[in-house]
Amino acid sequence: MKCAIGRSLMISPLIVLFISGCAFFASDNANQTEIAKSQIAQITNTQVYTVTPAPTVTKDVSVTITATAGNIITTPTSSPSSFSFVTLSDAQDNGINLPATADQALALNPNFGIFIGDLESEGVTQIRMDESTTAFGSLYPKLFIVRGNHDDLIPGSAHLWESYFTSANRPLPAGITNYAAVDTTSNYLNYSFDYGNSRFIGLDVPWGAEVLTTSELNFLDARLTDAESNGLVHAFLFFHVPPYCTEGNHCACTAKSDSSCTPSALIAIINQHPIVDAVFSGHEHLLAWTHMDNTRVADLTHPYEQFLTAPSGANTYNDVLYPDRVDHIELQDGQAFGYVTVNGSSFTVNFYRVGTLVPVWTKTFTK
């Protein structure tokens, strides 16, 4: 279905319209290897999303849209160009270590946070989910959460996950706008939202980016297209399994230039969208950064950054690291998280180890 609209619209509580880029120069205050920068193949799609009730807003819209069923909730607010968020993953510890990680992250006063899978260890049981969300303490209301493989261990885990967070009925953190889901059954599995000058896209990738579905890839492409058309500056993607793996428990690609473990369909979309600045993942229980360019994935023409900010509760996988596949790694054992500040066209990533109140590594990237 196509719609052409070129007038001031009252967007009702039931409908919202959506249409559905950048080498970095980095400054660094810790040791790491810098790699040459290059440049990135193409998929396009735009979408319209129908929605669950949300506040009525008035907007001027002048777009041509290809429509697909979906869901959106929008809360209009100001759009700051400076803000912060925390990034965590891989708790799966029955609430033992996670509280200390969450408390230290919360003390930095982030505007919100993303938790990138493996919340618990048994595949979405009520007891473990309650235990883990309680362990977040006062950080929980600020968090956007996606699934990991340990959240997908029993039949129907995706439905149980969706039902759990639907029942929780948490309000969006202050300042979040344009919350959109891939469809009406996936409000808490595949979704995007905006804060300030940035779009965040969370995808349900519990087992590997190579199994991203067509609808997920189309949703990603559409939300990136929409972000660029609306003048946003940054796009940050987050999903559990990193697209460029870095350690031996989950990955057979050991060489820097081996791209056989990286999904080509995802790279094609990233190539199309220079707004993409970074992918945040977990799964590999490492605190690491990799600069992604065509020295790592030959078909990559748009460089971006990959960050692993784990584990928040579980143990590390430092002993099975593939060193050639990272640019910086923090090899201390213990729980960890990331703290990201966005300031206009720049963003700064800080790595923290729990119990150490200053960053163990910091790096700033500017478009």
Q: Tokens at residue 59, please?
A: 């907007």
Asked if 365 and 22 touch (Cβ cutoff 8 Å), the reply is no
Assess if residue 226 is contained within a domain. yes
Q: How many helices (H) and strands (E) does the chain have?
A: 5, 20
pLDDT(78) > 80: no
Asked if 88 and 69 touch (Cβ cutoff 8 Å), the reply is no
Would you call 128 helix, strand, or coil by DSSP?
A: helix
Residue 170 DSSP label: P
Percent of the chain with pLDDT over 90: 75
Please give the average per-residue pLDDT across 81-109, as a whole number: 96
Q: Write down the pTM of the prediction.
A: 0.80
CA distance 321 to 331: 10
Any idea which residue has 């971006």 for tokens?
304
| CA dist list (Å): 258 to 16, 38, 246, 296, 325 | 42, 17, 11, 7, 9
Assess if residue 17 is contained within a domain. no
pLDDT(266) > 50: yes
Assess if residue 64 is contained within a domain. no
Q: How confident is the model at residue 209 (pLDDT cuts 50, 70, 90)?
A: confident
Assess if residue 8 is contained within a domain. no
Give the pLDDT of residue 349: 98
Q: Which domain holds residue 224?
A: 24-44+70-366
Please give the average per-residue pLDDT across 237-252, as a whole number: 96
Which of 19-23, 60-64, 196-200, 251-255 has the least mean pLDDT? 60-64
Assess if residue 250 is contained within a domain. yes
pLDDT(269) > 60: yes
pLDDT(2) > 50: no
Asked if 44 and 272 touch (Cβ cutoff 8 Å), the reply is yes
Assess if residue 4 is contained within a domain. no
Q: How confident is the model at residue 3 (pLDDT cuts 50, 70, 90)?
A: very low
Give the pLDDT of residue 86: 98
Give the pLDDT of residue 122: 87
Assess if residue 268 is contained within a domain. yes
Please give the average per-residue pLDDT across 120-125, as a whole number: 91
Percent of the chain with pLDDT over 70: 78
Pick the closest to residue 96 from 113, 114, 117, 121 (CA basis): 121
pLDDT(203) > 70: yes
Assess if residue 116 is contained within a domain. yes
pLDDT(127) > 50: yes
Asked if 216 and 182 touch (Cβ cutoff 8 Å), the reply is yes
Count of the separate structural domains present in the chain? 1
Q: What is the domain-level CATH number for residue 75?
A: 3.60.21.10
Asked if 129 and 100 touch (Cβ cutoff 8 Å), the reply is no
Q: Amino acid letter at 89?
A: S
